[in-house]
Structure 1
Amino acid sequence: MRLIHNMTTIAECPAPELPAASRAIKMAVIGGSGVGKTALVVRFLTRRFIGDYERNAGNLYSREVQVDGEQVTIQVQDTPGVELTDNSIGLPDHVTCSVQWADAVVLVYSVTDHRSFDLIDQLHQSVVRAGGGNMPPVILLANKADLLHLRRVDSQQGPLLAGTLGCSFYEVSASEDYSQVHSAFHRLCCQLAKQPPQASSNPSHNSSSTATEKRRSPLIPRPKSPNMQDLKRRFKQALSAKVRTVTSV
């Protein structure tokens, strides 16, 4: 997995090593704090689950994959957690810009935290406002489905809310099942790959308004580059801990 960094704006994320025929699929992952956004992103892109991440890091991840036979670059913006205050939320500027930058948005809540579920409707409204007339596709992910004894959101509430919002719904466990996480993200990638690129290749001043808006996205604070050596170290520590537990039993 290659990590993108040293960017001046989030709309300027080239993949210089890719062939000219390749295209980028950009996704923003949004949700409350502690719902497992980073775990989901890393699980999808690396198959690994570590379970210990720096919260609110706001990293941008990138990986080259094959989608329906086409070589594409998947760019996933992991945004800081959003909090509910006074029964309302306000998206930070960089989260709003992430929505405007993205081709699709993944809304995440935890089945063990009803407050994170209550955030979803307002987050969706914020996505609609940020997208303006260019509303990106949205999917709803319910994470931590393996923690049955801690469940606080009924299994029927997610599908009902997704139906109200008009988006697809997936209940997954980032820690227990890679296939669930991969299926949700991969289907979204396939959907996006079938759509024509939003940015126009015509260099003239008569380019589409959508492309112009993308190029004029406000500056976003430079995201931190995840320390992959540290992630690998923690992954090995997690595996070692599991081995010690089994041995002691």
Structure 2
Amino acid sequence: MTYKQRNLAMMGYRSVGKSSLSIQFVEGQFVDSYDPTIENNYEIRLVDTAGQDEYSIFPAQYSMDFHGYVLVYSITSQRSFEVIKIIYEKLLDMMGKAYVPVVLVGNKTDLHQERAVPMEEGRKLADSWKAQFLETSAKQNESVNDVFSLLIAQIERDNGNTSEKSSCTIS
């Protein structure tokens, strides 16, 4: 069996749970303490980037050699939702494309009582990008694996690999 390597970047405003999603996906655990990320690499090859804001300058490597992007905001932060729109536009500008494979993720559903971004806003934004959309809880391991499965499936569809028997095995 031949495996394809897919390079994915996880991006978003600070403290939205990018590292928590990465660690939950890779190691199956949630880390309660917050230690700001510089950058971590995992195999699929998942790059967990440092938090971005509207003034961030993306290294050129963020637009090269990546097959898709996980763009994360916190459902408890309208600011993180606004910043994710800017990050997406910067990605398109930097790549010189009108479309890139993206899964938009509203994280921290376990904090639903603090919700600042309605689910429908996230869904509408993802639809406008022709992107997949999910809400997750890294803490409760809700829909974490789905984020990566959806993105890999989207990348494969975009590459013309639409075999009905195809499956996604992430190791």
1:50-199 equivalences in 2 (<5 Å): 50-62=31-43, 74-83=44-53, 89-94=54-59, 96-133=60-97, 135-178=99-142, 180-193=143-156, 195=159
Q: Using the alignment, how far apart are the partners of 1:57 and 1:133 within structure 2?
A: 27
Q: 1:61 to 1:134 in 2, by over 3 A?
A: farther
After superposing on structure 2, the runs of 4+ consecutive aligned residues of structure 1 that deviate more than 6 Å are: none
The alignment yields a C-alpha RMSD, in angstroms, of: 2.1
Q: Is the partner of 2:63 in helix, strand or coil?
A: helix
> 1:112·1:150 contact (CA, 8 Å) conserved in 2?
yes
Of 45, 49, 52, which residue of structure 1 is paired with 2:26? 45
The secondary structure found in structure 2 opposite 1:23 is coil
Q: Secondary structure at the match of 2:32?
A: coil
**What amino acid is aligned across from residue 91 of structure 1 in structure 2?**
S
Rg larger for:
1
TM-score of the superposition, structure 2-length normalised?
Answer: 0.83
What runs of 5+ residues in structure 1 fail to find an aligned partner? 1-18, 63-73, 84-88, 198-249
Q: State the match for 1:29 in structure 2.
A: 10
SS at match of 2:87: helix
Per the alignment, in what secondary structure is the counterpart of residue 28 of structure 1?
Answer: strand
CA spacing shift, 1:154–1:97, aligned 2, 3 Å? same
- Counterpart of 1:70 in structure 2 is none
The amino acid that maps onto 2:57 is P
Letter in 2 for 1:189: I
Give the Cα–Cα distance (whole angstroms) in 2 for the partners of residues 191 and 163 of structure 1.
Answer: 14
Cα distance change on mapping 1:163 and 1:93 into 2, 3 Å: closer
Name stretches of at least 5 consecutive residues in structure 2 with no aligned partner: 162-171
Is the Cα contact below 8 Å between 1:38 and 1:78 reproduced in 2?
yes
Question: What secondary structure sits across from 2:11 in the alignment?
Answer: strand
User: C-alpha distance in 1, partners of 2:58/2:25?
Assistant: 26
Contact 2:76–2:108 (CA under 8 A) maintained in structure 1:
yes
* Whole-angstrom distance in 2 between the partners of 1:120 and 1:77: 17
